[in-house]
Structure 1
Amino acid sequence: MPPDTPQDAATLAAAGRELTFPLALPIENRLLTLVQPLRVLPGKRIVGEGDWAGQRALTKLFIGAGSKRHYQRERAGVDALIAADIPTPQVITSGAFAGGGYYLLTEFLADAVSLAHVLATAPASAATLARLQDACRLIGQLHANGLEHHDPHPGNFLCHQGHVLIIDGDAVKRSPAPLAPASAHANLALFLAQLPLRFEAQSGALLDAYARPLPPAATLTALIAQARARRLADYLKKTLRPCTLFDVWHTLRRFTAVVREQSAALASLLDDPERAIAAGTLLKNGNTATVARVALGERQLVIKRYNLKNLVHAFSRAWRPSRAWHSWREGHRLSFLDIATPAPLALIEERRPFSLGLLRARAWLISADVPAPSLAERLAALPADAPPPAEAEALLTLMRTLHTHRISHGDLKASNLLWDGNQIVVIDLDAMTQHTSATRYARAWRRDRARLLANWPEGSELHQWLDRNLPEGRAP
């Protein structure tokens, strides 16, 4: 169907992800054109930038089963925010359209950026802290008015012309005002759990901005830890199933997971990773792994193939997730926790057809290339025996963050830490583990600590500096 042909909700729902933009819909005797998508939930919802008779609008289309219920919930949440005088994009119009669908058009804030974008791209500056304080202030206003945003992640806060707004009315729930303390504290903890650890030192300023009664500090700390663990577990599950963020398919011969927005660009590598390795620059060619840097247009990527040394090794690996699977998961764990690592882009596992696709064979991991020297190379090139301030701060921040989350690397040699301008990037995640047992973590951390110290002679100033400053073995 041509993109300018008016469509209805049933057609859009049946199309799934196979939508052609721009989309045209007759709305209130005018033509709504959905110019480009921002988010698509196949058969359920389409969100994008629209043009309604010359007026730009953030457009939400509710389609498929349950469309009326979801629309009503969204509209009720937006109305509740407006009634409580909480900043949110203003409604232009809303209603039903042909085929059983519903629409909600709100003002399009062209120069707005999400708080998540600010946190990802801006340093821990006074301006960034001010935006976080604004967000906490809005959460306090929600709770004072008996409202709770069930998904208060930084992506649901917009920064626009020096102000912060809340979006996603579907997640706003109304209760008697003010919100019950237990619910309010858990909701505040859910927001704080999603902030990078570098802002922990500013937690006092954020809690002051919240301006509502708080639980004891130990209680809030426990609530934040619980919320962070739940969100991480949910996210890691998503990396292995089809969803908005990931494209996953499983056949008798192969299991593939890829970051959805990279799926089209990586198609040739996913189809034949061996051909890409053969054409690339070999970085390592060992018994257990082969690593190559490959060109994809103007991008440089790294493909790591996890080899099977012999028949016994192949048999032992067939029954459990591959090391590529493990590295894929741990890479996304680190990214989720705001710990720098080469972006994991795709996972491929060969499967044995006779086992109905259950038994594993070789595996590949495709990740972004980080052309940076190792920490050992970086420090060797500097005249001082102790790390300069930038490198020292980056290293200690990394170690404290890993320690806080009870993450052990398993092979923490300096060549597995890259110096990338102003941060340390962690690579080679095959043996990485996040521990639930404090005792096991303490043992693993002591091994990691000793392995890192072993990179420099025991009597050297650098070795002694690290020994003084690295966290001890006791689990947090």
Structure 2
Amino acid sequence: MTTPTAQTASSLRAAGREPPLPFAVTLDDGRELVMLRVLRILPSKRIVGEAETAGSRMLAKLFIAPGSTRHWQRERQGIEALAAAGIPTPALRHAGELHGGGHVLLTDFLADAASLSDHWQAVAGLPASHADALAVLAPAFAMLGRMHAHGLVQDDLHLGNFLVSGGELMVIDGDAVRSLSPGQALQADQAAANFAILAAQLPAGWDEHIAPLIDAWRQDGEGLPTLDTAALRERITHTRDARLKDFLAKTLRDCTLFKAEKTFDRLTIAVRAEADELAEVLADPDAAIAHGSLLKDGGTCTVAKLEHGNRPLVIKRYNLKNTRHALSRAWRPSRAAHSWVEGHRLAFLGIATPAPLAMIEERAGPLRRRAWIINAWCPGEDLATHLAPYVDSGPPPAEAEALRTLFATLYRERISHGDMKATNLLWHDGHVVLIDLDAMQQHRSASSHARAWRRDRARLLRNWPTDSALWRWLDANLPPA
């Protein structure tokens, strides 16, 4: 192993997102802790990773901000509160100061651990209340019920804060654990508010199937209050809306999930996990288009498919036709930025769309010029082609269910597409996938959405003859105009 470089809280703050690995810090008892792998980093505040001390592997949390004492204490107290209540959590092995400033917490490193979020990904596409999906979710809600029965809440509830190790479910992130009523169950309002945080992580379709999750929550929690189902659904909707707003704001700035770089003449934003692999494309998107296979070359946009890093991508450039067009676009968010945000909106809501990976805007200070968006390639067949054999019979069962689900979800979320051509709908892996999100909008008012939905519905129906069985099926199964 490479010799670790000695670091302090101050030098780790200066290193930002890229501390030199491996590095070593000195604990208050004189031991050396060597950080081998970083799992999460909040620049200048906290580093979480796999570490080693005295021959033992640990999960290390380094609190390196000048005012780190409060967060370190809160994390320690949360872990201790979970352990006292008998809630499974990785055992705390050391809590102390770092030599030269900062604090550290060491817990057992669980080499076989997988987050419940990873387990959920395998079943996330199943219908709400499906038995396989419930099998993943129910243990988490049962664990939450046990916490609530002991007066504990977790303010950062998401499936990634539950780990499965050795067949046992555990709660992590003690920093977000609080004791509201030590030794006694939460009151109904407190429990409902915390329950809603976890339920809001799920697609909205689960809101109508909340009963089995409430049953799981109650199964191991003695003394838990009765929850008002209607009021709970309202809380979940409000919490999910707040989460969506917060998440979409993150898509446009530098943060844990996204890497943003801004200069006078350019803005580049990429999914952080993809940024290094896409670096060559981001540096010269026009060259990438030139080396790709042209799919469309119009006045307002140019689209190409390219092979990069052994996987296919789609890059779309938004062109400027003339000076007047350039001036009209200069002060508004680019169409690439709009499609970028809307793609992430759909993904957040569990609506199938090719993953948005990066966007670029040419800038002249605050003025926007050309722009690009890079998405994953979807190999699906467009609905005009895929449904052609079924024009006189109506869609097969799988396609019928997928169409009903998609449009019911869009309607419930008040989302309009703006260009509902059959070629903008792809059939892939049992889902109808939406592409070309330039005109997509989530409406604030029911009346605005109703007008937009009438246009979307009419445009979708125009893809097929009015006297066909497929047209009649769609007209009967789409949400009403």
TM class by shorter-chain length?
over 0.9
2:152 aligned residue:
147
2:141 aligned residue:
136
1:219 aligned residue:
231
Q: Partners of 2:391 and 2:462 in 1: how far apart?
A: 20
The 8 Å contact of residues 348 and 363 in structure 1, kept in 2 or not, is answered as yes
Q: Structure 1 residue 291 and structure 2 residue 291: aligned? A: no
Q: Partners of 2:334 and 2:299 in 1: how far apart?
A: 15
How far 1:54 moved relative to its partner?
A: 3.0
The 8 Å contact of residues 89 and 171 in structure 2, kept in 1 or not, is answered as yes
1:350 aligned residue:
362
Show structure 1 runs of 5+ residues with no match: none
- Residues 386-401 of structure 1 correspond to what in structure 2 (within 5 A)? 386-401=394-409
Identity of aligned residues (%): 54
How far 1:164 moved relative to its partner?
A: 2.1
Q: Partners of 2:468 and 2:113 in 1: how far apart?
A: 51
The 8 Å contact of residues 24 and 34 in structure 2, kept in 1 or not, is answered as yes
Q: Structure 1 residue 427 and structure 2 residue 435: aligned? A: yes
How far 1:109 moved relative to its partner?
A: 2.1
Match of 2:249 among 203, 212, 237: 237
Q: Partners of 1:244 and 1:84 in 2: how far apart?
A: 32
- Residues 250-329 of structure 1 correspond to what in structure 2 (within 5 A)? 250-329=262-341
> Which secondary structure does the structure 2 equivalent of 1:294 belong to?
strand
Q: Partners of 2:30 and 2:187 in 1: how far apart?
A: 45
The 8 Å contact of residues 413 and 452 in structure 1, kept in 2 or not, is answered as yes
Q: Partners of 1:387 and 1:159 in 2: how far apart?
A: 41
The 8 Å contact of residues 131 and 164 in structure 1, kept in 2 or not, is answered as no
2:10 aligned residue:
10
Match of 2:200 among 193, 196, 201: 193
Number of residue pairs aligned between Structure 1 and Structure 2: 468
CA deviation profile, 1:261-303 (whole Å, cap 9, x unmatched): 1111111111111111111111100011000112222121111
The 8 Å contact of residues 59 and 104 in structure 1, kept in 2 or not, is answered as yes
1:412 aligned residue:
420
> Which secondary structure does the structure 2 equivalent of 1:35 belong to?
strand
How far 1:134 moved relative to its partner?
A: 1.4
2:459 aligned residue:
451
Q: Residue type of the partner of 2:261?
A: W
> Which secondary structure does the structure 2 equivalent of 1:57 belong to?
strand
- Residues 51-130 of structure 1 correspond to what in structure 2 (within 5 A)? 51-122=52-123, 124=126, 126-130=131-135
- Would the alpha carbon gap of residues 30 and 271 (structure 1) be closer, same or farther in structure 2, given more than 3 Å must change? same
Q: Partners of 1:36 and 1:460 in 2: how far apart?
A: 60
Match of 1:170 among 150, 166, 175: 175
Worse overlay, 424-433 or 445-454: 445-454
> Which secondary structure does the structure 2 equivalent of 1:109 belong to?
coil
Q: Partners of 1:214 and 1:399 in 2: how far apart?
A: 34
The 8 Å contact of residues 23 and 34 in structure 2, kept in 1 or not, is answered as yes
Q: Residue type of the partner of 1:77?
A: G
Match of 2:410 among 378, 397, 402: 402
Show structure 2 runs of 5+ residues with no match: 219-223
The 8 Å contact of residues 66 and 102 in structure 2, kept in 1 or not, is answered as no
Q: Structure 1 residue 19 and structure 2 residue 19: aligned? A: yes
Q: Residue type of the partner of 1:122?
A: V
Worse overlay, 83-92 or 125-134: 125-134
1:34 aligned residue:
35
Q: Partners of 2:204 and 2:236 in 1: how far apart?
A: 12
- Residues 360-399 of structure 1 correspond to what in structure 2 (within 5 A)? 360-381=368-389, 385-399=393-407
How far 1:127 moved relative to its partner?
A: 4.1
Q: Partners of 2:346 and 2:417 in 1: how far apart?
A: 11
Q: Partners of 1:317 and 1:59 in 2: how far apart?
A: 48
Q: Any runs of at least 4 consecutive aligned residues in structure 1 with deviations exceeding 6 A, and if so which? A: none
Q: Partners of 1:389 and 1:412 in 2: how far apart?
A: 22
* Structure-1-length-normalised TM-score: 0.94
- Would the alpha carbon gap of residues 54 and 375 (structure 1) be closer, same or farther in structure 2, given more than 3 Å must change? farther
Worse overlay, 391-400 or 435-444: 391-400
Q: Partners of 1:440 and 1:383 in 2: how far apart?
A: 32
Q: Partners of 2:111 and 2:131 in 1: how far apart?
A: 24
Q: Residue type of the partner of 2:172?
A: I
